[in-house]
Every structure is written in structure tokens, then in C-alpha cells.
Chain A
Amino acid sequence: MNLAIEHVTKKYGNHHAIDDISCEFSNGVYGILGANGSGKTTLMRMLATVTTPTAGIIRVNGKNILSLGDDYRDMIGYLPQHIGLYKNFTADKFLHYIAALKGLSKKEAALKIEELLDLVNLMDVRKKKVGTFSGGMKQRIGIAQALLNDPKILIVDEPTAGLDPKERIRFRNLLSSISGERIVLLSTHIVSDIEFIAKEVLILKNGRLLHKRNPQELLHEIAGKVWLVTTAESEIPRYQDMFKVGNIVRSESRVELRIISDDRPSLAAILTTPNLEDLYLYFFEEDFDAGPVKV
């Protein structure tokens, strides 16, 4: 399975929600990382054929997805950022209904639903109305519906937003377990969602694709730019004015700041190993203007 995005642009009025993106995907999990408004949802909507590119082509195994039509949609599973559910349907009925829309026969559907309810751990609430479900349960039935047709391409848009940490971990494990022979595209603005399961991370900013690499390579990008500085509590605002400050660890009278900077932020600063959180800060936290600083 090969999915290729070729010079895809999506404009809303004069605004470029997606600006000339090209990249390719093969089987595996891809994390799409970007701040709010960076174009993640727009990109995924185009991949799900919910909306069409203003320019450019998306191909699957060399064929334009728009000319494949039904045949393409038959091979995708999509979990929108904001999923609507038939509130008065039970989980069981909801999945049967969607299975029908996806073109599964009744027999196929019954088997698949059984399997999926088990996978997403909703077996004991299958007769409950989805309107009564918690956020995490809704996401899990959302992923179940996406998997009904055994999609070769799975598109999930910020699936962990609004989940508590435990639910988030469970969801991540679930995704990881189903990522076998398919392309999984997962968007998020939470780094830990993809840190360990993504084969490659795409960094999206203002509709542009900044990077598409495996996490290790990306971390290499900021090697030598992450520092630990131990200082006094009162110094924090000064550092925050001048640098991108990540984690702050307090211990007794001192604080340890994690700072992302091209140059050594202070004489006492020591280099440390970058993680994806740092990477995110490096790319997305820029509401300050730090020139070269001498301390």
C-alpha cells in the first residue's frame, strides 16, 4: 500500500489551510504533529475525501483517490476530530448501521462487530445507548466504526483529545495493536501520543510540511540545542523572556529549567538529550523573539 500526496493545496478564501504539501506513506503509523490551526484536520479531510484539494492530487498505489471513488472509500477508515453519533442507537445498532453504509453484508458485519467490540473493550455495554457513553468510550466506538471495513488506510484525527491519561494510554496501545498491515495516520498536538508508536512524524506548521522523518532523526535535528539550567526561582521570568523554556523542575530553593536554544543560555548550562516535547517546543512555541543573548 502506497499513499502519495502530490503538491496538495487547500485554500479557504485566500487562506492556505494546506500549502503545497507532498509526501508518501507506506504501511506503519505516522504521527501528524502540529499546533491548532496548522492544517491537520484539513489534510485528513482531504485524505478521507470529505473535502477536495484546491490543487494537487492524492494517489493510492498510483491512482487518483477521487477517480477511485467508492473503491477508495472502501479501503479507508476515518475517525473525525468531532464525531457525531446517533445518540439513541445502542453501540451494537450503531455499528450495524455503519457497517451497512460501508457495504458489509449482514453476516460479515455481525462477525466483525463481535470482534471489534471485544478489541475496543465495549462488549459489556453493547446494548447501551451511545448517548450515555463517556468521552473515552465514544472514541473507542469511533475507532471500532473506522475499523469495520478492515481499512488499509486508517485516518484518526486527534483521537486522544479529551481523554484522561489512562484512557489515552489505552487508546495508544489499541492503535499500536492494529497498526499491522496498514497505513495509520494519527494527528495530535500531544507529543506523547506518538512518541513510541510512530514510524515517522510529520511536522505541520501553517499548512506547510516542515519535516517528515522518523522520531530519532527529528531529535537529531535539535541535538545540542537542549540545555539544563539550574537557577533561582526569581530568575525564571528572565529566562522565559529570552528562551524557549520547557519543563521546570523545582527542588528546595533552586529550580532546573529545560531550555531550547541554539546557543548556550548561560555559562552553567549543561547539554541534555532532546525528547519530542523539546522538538515540539522548538517548532511551535514562538511567541517570543529571542535574539542572540549573552548572559
Chain B
Amino acid sequence: MIKPNDQELEEWLNEFTIEYPSEEKIEQTIAMLHHYVPKKKKVHLFRQVYKELLGVSRVFWMTNLIYLAAGIGFIFIGGGNPYITLFLLAPLPVLISLIDVFRGRDEGMIELELSFKHSPSQLILSKLATIGLFNLVCNVLLIAVIHIFTEHILLSSLLKYWVVPYMVSISLCLFLSIKFRAVFAAPISIAILFSLGMAISQMAQVYEAVPTGMFLFLFMAALFVLGLEVKMIYKGAYHEFSD
């Protein structure tokens, strides 16, 4: 039994009931507080890849340096033909680096890598982009050096001896790397490139006679294939778990 006194007290206390905040209010408060929670720093993928290339793959930086040195050596010291030199040497750093790009897959790591924050597709694409861009800079550098210190370079010749062989050999090698193992794809592509380069250096007139339009077409075709390959990589066509 509640004594009158207690009852009064209870009634009096009841006036002070505190309403439980609504679900919505709680959510709002949490959302507001979220702004004050220190965010985990997001490491950008490109920076990560850049660091990784720096740390893990010395191959890539070395091949580019060797490429520049060899290019300059051949042309300025050995008196080699700058066009043939570009034809033979320019694609090499990228072709060799592809072995490293696909190493994860080739060593049976894909299943594991697929569970990582940065998916192997992201990783391969950003590595390709990094490698491609850096190599392009090296190429432009070499071409500029040739242009300034030796003969003036014709744009159409650049297309024939640099752009097309570069693009075609890389897109071929990339395709072979996606379908098979990069350790085989790279030597095969390099062998093809060298055989063609040697043949062309012997029969320069024949090669020169091929109309520029043909090379433009080849260039576009290689670009298209590269685009397809990027899509293939994005979709995971390079590993057996894509389904």
C-alpha cells in the first residue's frame, strides 16, 4: 500500500518525467558527433602504387634509366639511326615491367588479392598508368634530346618508328599477359619487335613507302585494343575467378 504521503510524492515526481529522446534525435546527435571523430587517413591508391613501385619494383625504374642511357649512347656515341633506336628500345621498359605488373597473378596470389582493399584490377590499372606515364616522359625527353642535338625529327617518321611500334607491341604484350603469363608474353613480344626492327632497318625504303594513313590506322587500332584491354582488366579477365 502506498501511504498518502508517498502518493503525493509520487505525483509530484511524475511531473518531472524526462521524455526519452526519439530514435531520430539520437541518430541526429550521432551524425553530428561523427564530424568530430578523427577520420582514418585515406592513403590514395596512386601514392600507394608509386611507393610500391619505388620500393618493390626497382626493375621498372632501372629499365627506364637504362633505356635513356642506351638511347643516348647509341645515337650520340655509336652514331646509330635515331629512328631505328627508338623503334627497338622505346617499348622495352614497359614490356619488361609488365612481368612485374602481373606478378601477383602469376604467382597465384589473385584469390588473396581479391580480398584486399585495393583490388588487383585497380592495382594493375594504376601500375600500368604509372608505368605508361613515366615511360612517356622518358620518351619525350629522349626525343627532345635527339631533336635538339641531331636532326630535326619529322612527325610522320615519329609515327612510323616510335608511336606505332610502341603502341602495337605494348598492346600485343598486354593482351598476351592478360591471357597467359607475362613472363612468356614479354620475351615473345620483344622477340617479335626485334625481328621486325631488324628487318625494317634492312629494308628502310619499303617501310618508308608505306603510306602514313596506314600507320594512322594502325595507331587507332592499337589504341582501340588498349581500351579493350583496360576494360578486360577492369572486369578481371586476367584471372580465373571472374564469373
| Residues of chain A at the chain B interface (Cβ within 8 Å) | 45, 48-52, 70, 73-74, 76-78, 80, 82-87, 93, 96-98, 100-106, 145, 149, 155
Contacts and interface: CB of A to CB of B under 8 A. Distances in A.
Contact of B56 (A84, A85, A97): A97
Interface string B100-139: 0001000111111111111100010000000000000000
A103 B112 contact: no
Given A51-B243, A103-B43, A103-B48, A98 B111 contact: no
9 contacts: A48-B115, A73-B116, A84-B107, A84-B108, A97-B52, A103-B117, A103-B118, A145-B112, A149-B117
B116 A102 contact: yes
A74 B42 CA distance: 11
A84 B115 CA distance: 13
Contacts of B42: 103
Nearest to B108: A84
B67 to A, nearest CB: 25
A78 B107 contact: no
Interface string B19-48: 000000000000000000000011100001
Given A51-B241, A100-B51, A74 B107 contact: no
Interface residues of B, number: 25
Closest 5 CB pairs of A and B: A84-B108, A78-B115, A48-B115, A84-B109, A103-B117
A103 B116 CA distance: 9
A188 B109 CA distance: 22
A106 B56 CA distance: 13
A84 B243 CA distance: 20
Contacts of B110: 84
A98 B107 contact: no
A155 to B, nearest CB: 8
Given A101-B123, A106-B51, A74 B117 contact: yes
Given A85-B107, A86-B109, A106-B51, A98 B116 contact: yes
A201 B107 CA distance: 34
A100 B107 CA distance: 18
Contacts of A70: 117-118
B241 A76 contact: no
A93 B56 CA distance: 9
Interface of B: 41-43, 48, 51-52, 55-56, 103, 107-119, 123, 241, 243
A248 B88 CA distance: 73
Nearest to A148: B116
Contacts of B52: 97, 100
B117 A50 contact: no
Given A102-B116, A104-B43, 6 more contacts: A48-B114, A74-B117, A84-B107, A101-B116, A105-B41, A145-B112
A76 B115 contact: yes
Nearest to B116: A101
B111 A50 contact: yes
A97 B116 CA distance: 12
Max chain B Cβ within 10 angstroms of own Cβ: one of A82, A84, A149:
A84
Contacts of B48: 100, 103
Contacts of A84: 107-112
A78 B116 CA distance: 9
Contacts of A50: 111, 114-115, 241
A93 B103 CA distance: 15
Contacts of A149: 117
Contacts of A96: 55
B121 to A, nearest CB: 12
Contacts of B114: 48-50
Contacts of B51: 100, 106
A50 B55 CA distance: 27
B112 A83 contact: yes
Contacts of A103: 42-43, 48, 117-118
Contacts of A105: 41, 43
A82 B110 CA distance: 11
Nearest to B47: A105
A101 B107 contact: no
A134 B233 CA distance: 34
A73 to B, nearest CB: 5
B79 to A, nearest CB: 41
Contacts of A73: 115-117, 119
Contacts of B55: 96, 100
Nearest to B242: A51
A286 B107 CA distance: 39
Nearest to A105: B43
Contacts of A106: 51
